Chains A and B, each alone.
Chain A
């Protein structure tokens, strides 16, 4: 259920970003909500549902953006693994560090993608604009809090834990009860 809900949410975000967000002025760009979803799933989803979701959403994103198939699933999965690894080895409180971590990750992913494109088209490399990148980071930081809150609500609502907790309630804690 959770996978389905977040997959549909991801698709809705992609549709939103490829259609409605283009009404915003060009110089402003638009907040990358999909990136926030990836960061969120890296924090909350487990090692089975998280990668499955990100792979599927990466494939959808590949169709909507870019010309090299496989770029987005790769980026999302690397980001997922990196953030999971970071959370395991560094004592970070998720809710406190989630926004700065998302913004920093955005910068690193943009940098990584830029290097990849430079290597791919060395005779005609893309232009790196610090001001535009910072503006996108700022936008991301501004919308991150309510967006994460919404994701959290959805995650809690549709988490399998709820079902499992309901199931566990059937078992009585009274060991002497027959």
Chain B
């Protein structure tokens, strides 16, 4: 029994050696034939190649995809960084551009203001608006010129486009201006074409009304209204606005005249104060 088992084990060992040797020999044989004979693939190699080829193709594509992905990721990172830098640069240039445009606009406004200043006979002072009335019912401004600059109560305030209002209070470095659109404001004006005279008052809502013009007096829509110079506050001939509507109520002896202001009060930034020596004007507000 034990002899039989020993014999079977010995045979198995021999078989394994034969198989290994056989494969080795076959390989050597193939190598020798390949080296000596024609170097063409046999049918087996061709079949193997046919099967292997597509797999390699897929593998290569996958690798290529992976390489591409890696490259793209690297590029993306670079692009992201570059994009950030470009955005920062763009913001810097936009800011510079904004400052430039602002400077050009300010320059243009001040140039116009200066030209207008030269046309006025009386000396003027440029002022910047620092505050606007937040109330629904009052229309005033705060400007950065005060009594130390020679600004006094009742001095007229104008822009290139027309009248703005009058100074009502001053401190050494600031002054408060009552806008012509405030209902408390009253300015002597006249129609440029018909020379009809009246008193300009604010409606409180950004427009004017011309009061005390008799129904018998001719007045036209579209006509320009200017300061008459009679009130003693505003110089004569300053633009006020354009007559937008004329109506006559059955009652009363005066016409109702609406005037569209020449000045855009919502866009005011700089104004001119017309300096006057006449302190008698102060009595108007005292």
Which residues of A does B touch, CB under 8 Å?
Answer: 14-15, 17-19, 21-22, 26, 29-30, 32, 34, 63-67, 110, 113-114, 117, 120-121, 123-127, 129, 132-133, 136
Q: Given contacts A67-B168, A126-B203, is CB(A21)–CB(B183) below 8 Å?
A: no
Asked if A30 contacts B134 (CB within 8 A), the reply is: yes
Min distance, Cβ A36 to any Cβ of chain B, angstroms:
13
- Contact, CB under 8 Å: A113 / B209: no
Q: Are A29 and B135 in contact (CB under 8 A)?
A: no
| Given A18-B142, A19-B131, A67-B178: A125 in contact with B183 (beta carbons within 8 A) | yes
25 contacts between A and B (CB under 8 A): A14-B134, A18-B133, A18-B142, A19-B132, A26-B206, A30-B134, A63-B176, A64-B133, A65-B134, A65-B135, A65-B138, A66-B135, A67-B182, A67-B184, A110-B136, A110-B137, A114-B137, A117-B204, A121-B184, A124-B201, A126-B183, A126-B204, A127-B203, A129-B205, A136-B136
Number of B interface residues, CB 8 Å? 27
Given contacts A67-B182, A117-B183, A121-B184, are A19 and B137 in contact (CB under 8 A)?
no
In chain B, positions 162-207 with a C-beta closer than 8 Å to chain A are: 168-169, 176, 178, 182-184, 201-206
Cβ-closest chain B residue relative to A110: B136
Query: Which residues does chain B contribute within 8 Å of A117, judged by CB atoms?
Result: 137, 183, 204
Asked whether A66 and B131 contact (CB < 8 A) given A124-B183, A127-B204, the answer is no
Give the distance to chain B from A111, nearest Cβ to Cβ, in Å. Answer: 11
**Least CB separation from B182: chain A residue:** A67
- Further 16 A-B residue pairs, CB within 8 A, beyond A66-B137, A117-B204: A17-B134, A18-B131, A18-B142, A19-B130, A26-B266, A63-B176, A64-B131, A66-B133, A66-B140, A67-B168, A110-B136, A124-B201, A124-B202, A124-B209, A126-B137, A127-B204
